[in-house]
Structure 1
Amino acid sequence: MLRDKDRYLNILLISPSILAILIFVYAFIGWSVRVSLSKWKGLSADYTWNGIQNYLDLFADPRFQIDIRNTLIFTGVFVIGSILLGFTLAVMLDQGLKGESFFRSLFLFPMAISYIVTGVVWRWLMNPAGGSRTSGLNLLFTNMGLDSLVNQWHTTPTWGIAAIALAAIWQMSGYTMALYLAGLRAIPEDLKEAARIDGANELQIYRHIMLPLLSPVTLSALIILGHMSLKVFDLIVAIAGKQLPLDVPAIYMWQITFDGLFYGRGAAVGVLLLISIAVLIIPYIRYTTKIEAEQ
């Protein structure tokens, strides 16, 4: 009887949170899906059924095709760069580096900064202006005699979005470093010692022992960084504003919804972003749940 009373009390305590999630998350998702299937354009709500026409028009829009290309480029550069740099930093710290706590905090510090602040700083660092207005990284390269590295950064045609990914790498590589460092510290030292006794060098140990054991960490990093890259908005706006060559779905959704008042198509973009993120997150959640149940 007492156990049933505790169960009901626990349900009562969490019921406000459950109700809030049902209303402000799932109910609004359902409402967004309904709006995406309507002809709503303008300030007055119009729920006239439009089927999947908004989605068809979206994929036929050349601007949205640019958005998809930019998202793929940004995601590839950001995820691969963050993982490689984070893993390298973790390996360096795992060698018993003197002052490890200081460097660990130093590498993690950018993560505590918002994307807006990061964007403002990197807008100056990646200033494409030349001549007497040269500043940031271009000025550093010029003073060091590395003129070949001077470039137009985010104003470069086609690949300008990759330059913005550098700022995201700077911000999130410390987080990836923390993931890998925790994974490295969890690997028993006996395994590495046994490999050394068998004649394996350090490169072979990392390739055949450490990396396979770190595959769950790599998967986690891929999922976390991947879903962040799909919804990037504030970093791009802070660095370069709203420019078509640097356009991504989140910026397109904002402009077409709140500037163009085309709520039907804007909701369609939001639903597509939700689906793309769910494609990454849901299999990962099922995988981790299965692993935990087996343990």
Structure 2
Amino acid sequence: MGSRRDRILAILMLSPSLVLLAIFVYGFIGRTVYLSLTDWGRQMALALHPTIHFVGLDNYRELFTGFLDVRFRQDLVNMLYFTLLFVGASLSLGLALAILIDQQVRGEAIFRTIFLFPMSLSLVVTGTMWRWVLQPRGGVNVLPAMIGREPWTFLWLSSRSQYLRFDWQHLPRYLGVGIAIALALVASVGLRRRRRLGPALAGVAAGATLGWALFGPGSHVKLLPFPELHGFNDALIGVVLAATWQMAGYTMALYLAGLRGVPSELREAARVDGASELQVYRYVDLPLLKPITLSALIILGHIALKIFDLVFAMAGPDNAPTSVPAISMYLTTFRGNQLAKGASIAVILLIMVSVLIIPYLVNAFRSRRAELG
């Protein structure tokens, strides 16, 4: 009787939060998805009673294949490169700092505070500060002049030089290969665990077929009637530096907690077997840090995919070389009054973040249920 009463009381206590969550989170997400399927903004967007028609996926088609939305496509490429560089640099630098502090250096508390301090700043403050540091005619560019050399001339936030360029026409092929690789990895996990052999083999076959259809020599899939080259902009280097400076301390704290949690018996056993310090970290510590690495990867990837305020503060919304999809959403919605297309960009960002977050949450819930069960 008491258990039932407690359950009813818990439901009553949680109901207001669940109702507010359903309305102001999932309700607004559903409303945004619906608006992305309309033409709101093409005619009298800010009228008291605007004319809105359902147009299906037209907004998404224009974003990926429209002649006027080339900036959005470059923003997607910028976000991809930024995510890879930012996450990789933050993980590497954070791990290196954690290993150094784990050596029981003198003044460890001071170094921990110094490395963690940037995380306490808002991204707007960080962006403003790094904008001053990376001024083309000041900041770090004038450091060589202090020793009598010519100052640097690198355009940190406005350079338009591009590398690793590719044709947007080939995007379906790259996606096909990526899906094929993902399916093959999932299938290999199934084969390794000796479970569900049939679906695993079917996944391999489906991935190989899809990859050949989209990437093979007979593929004629085209997104645009003309070539459109995109690549990595040099201007993103400054944004990556600022973001890494702010988040490397957070990654260091995660790794340091993980290193301090490794049983000393395991390290001593490895040293007794003749392992060097480098081998101890490689074969004992790093394998035990995999869950922390995965958590940091998810958190940093989530930050990178929805980055907005740092870029806005460092380079402004009109600087195309450093623009990201969140900036495009802001400009499209609040400057261009194309509310439906802005909602489409928001939905695309939501899907990308969900692809990163949902599998991690599902795996975490399953692991937790297995521990409790």
User: What is the TM-score with the length of structure 1 in the denominator?
Assistant: 0.94
* Amino acid in structure 2 at the alignment position of 1:264: A
Q: Could you say which residue in structure 2 is the equivalent of 1:57?
A: 62
Q: Could you say which residue in structure 1 is the equivalent of 2:370?
A: 294
Q: Choose between structure 1 and 2: higher helix proportion.
A: 1
Could you list the runs of 5+ residues in structure 2 that have no partner in the other structure? 161-232
Pairing 1:28–2:28 present:
yes
Greater Rg by CA: 2
* Amino acid in structure 2 at the alignment position of 1:245: P
Q: Is the 8 A contact 1:141 1:150 kept in 2?
A: no
Say if 1:147 and 1:85 are closer, same or farther in 2 by CA, change over 3 A: farther
Q: Could you say which residue in structure 2 is the equivalent of 1:230?
A: 305
Q: Could you say which residue in structure 2 is the equivalent of 1:125?
A: 133
Q: Is the 8 A contact 2:33 2:343 kept in 1?
A: yes
Identical-pair percentage: 49
CA offsets 1:230-271 (integer angstroms, 9 cap, x no match)? 111111111111211211100000010010010110000000
CA offsets 1:63-119 (integer angstroms, 9 cap, x no match)? 111101110111111101100110011001111111212211211111111000001
The residue correspondences of 1:81-160 to structure 2 (distance < 5 A) are 81-129=89-137, 134=138, 136-144=139-147, 151-157=154-160, 158-160=233-235
Matches of 2:297 and 2:304, distance apart in 1: 10
* Amino acid in structure 1 at the alignment position of 2:100: M
Say if 1:78 and 1:145 are closer, same or farther in 2 by CA, change over 3 A: farther
What is the CA-CA distance between 1:212 and the residue it aligns to?
1.3
Q: Could you say which residue in structure 1 is the equivalent of 2:74?
A: 66
Q: Is the 8 A contact 2:60 2:344 kept in 1?
A: yes
Matches of 2:146 and 2:268, distance apart in 1: 47
CA RMSD of aligned residues (A): 1.5
* Amino acid in structure 2 at the alignment position of 1:16: P
Say if 1:138 and 1:259 are closer, same or farther in 2 by CA, change over 3 A: same
Q: Is the 8 A contact 1:110 1:170 kept in 2?
A: yes
Matches of 1:179 and 1:241, distance apart in 2: 32
Pairing 1:246–2:246 present:
no
Matches of 1:148 and 1:214, distance apart in 2: 43
Matches of 1:69 and 1:223, distance apart in 2: 19
* Amino acid in structure 2 at the alignment position of 1:101: A
Q: Could you say which residue in structure 2 is the equivalent of 1:193?
A: 268
Say if 1:68 and 1:23 are closer, same or farther in 2 by CA, change over 3 A: same
* Amino acid in structure 1 at the alignment position of 2:302: H
Match of 2:157, SS?
A: helix
Q: Could you say which residue in structure 2 is the equivalent of 1:207?
A: 282
* Amino acid in structure 2 at the alignment position of 1:59: F
Pairing 1:165–2:165 present:
no
Matches of 2:147 and 2:242, distance apart in 1: 22
* Amino acid in structure 2 at the alignment position of 1:287: N
- The number of aligned residues is 290
Say if 1:149 and 1:203 are closer, same or farther in 2 by CA, change over 3 A: farther
Matches of 2:87 and 2:63, distance apart in 1: 26
What is the CA-CA distance between 1:15 and the residue it aligns to?
1.2
Q: Is the 8 A contact 2:159 2:321 kept in 1?
A: no
What is the CA-CA distance between 1:149 and the residue it aligns to?
6.2
Runs of at least 4 residues of structure 1 off by over 4 A? 144-150
Matches of 1:145 and 1:19, distance apart in 2: 66
Q: Is the 8 A contact 2:37 2:57 kept in 1?
A: yes
Matches of 1:234 and 1:64, distance apart in 2: 18
What is the CA-CA distance between 1:138 and the residue it aligns to?
1.9
* Amino acid in structure 1 at the alignment position of 2:56: G
Pairing 1:258–2:334 present:
yes
Matches of 2:85 and 2:151, distance apart in 1: 21
Could you list the runs of 5+ residues in structure 1 that have no partner in the other structure? none
Match of 2:104, SS?
A: coil
